[in-house]
Structure 1
Amino acid sequence: MVLKVEGMSCGHCVRAVTDAVHARDAAAKVAIDLAAGTLTLQTVASRAALAEAIAAEGYVVAG
């Protein structure tokens, strides 16, 4: 799954988003491209659950 995440700009952002994903699926594999603003992951969590967790950290999942 690839998600466009708005508002990520630094290492803190990467950690916050990664932790949010892992809160929903501890075994998720996460790769973040700050320049592209994308989150690529392998997870059993739903897109909606991930978007909610990421939003709780102050970021927006686009689309």
Structure 2
Amino acid sequence: MEYRDTSTQNQVTRIAVNGMTCGHCADSVTEELKEIEGVLSVRIDQIVKDGSTDVFVESDRPLDLPAARAAVEEAGYTASV
């Protein structure tokens, strides 16, 4: 029988990102965010014409918000966390 610890729950943090206009933008942001320790997945909502979108980061611990902001900026965009 396999035992799985379900006592800890993953956390999801919403980040508002500005300046993304295409799928390549989304890939760049996703790649940078996934480098943060504890990040399990990144989901990006539909990018709207003005380039603003919500990015949802799932992590196994509280997300390092300064690192998340820096990751988005490293990809070339601005973030509000």
TM-score > 0.5, shorter chain as reference: yes
1:49 corresponds to: 67
1:38 correspondence with 2:50:
no
For 1:1-63, what aligned pairs fall within 5 Å after superposition? 1-25=13-37, 27-33=39-45, 34-35=47-48, 37-43=53-59, 44=61, 45-62=63-80
Give the alignment's TM-score, normalised by structure 1: 0.84
Q: Which has the higher helix share?
A: 1
Structure 2: runs of 5+ lacking an equivalent: 1-12
Higher relative contact order (Cα pairs below 8 Å, separated by 6+ residues)? 1
What amino acid maps onto 1:39 in structure 2? V
Over the aligned positions, Cα root-mean-square deviation in angstroms equals 1.8
Instruction: Output the CA distance in 2 between the equivalents of 1:29 and 1:7.
Output: 21
Segments of structure 1 that go 5 or more residues without pairing to the other structure are none
Matched residues, percent identical?
25
Q: Which amino acid aligns with 2:43?
A: A
Q: Distance in 2 between matches of 1:23 and 1:40?
A: 15
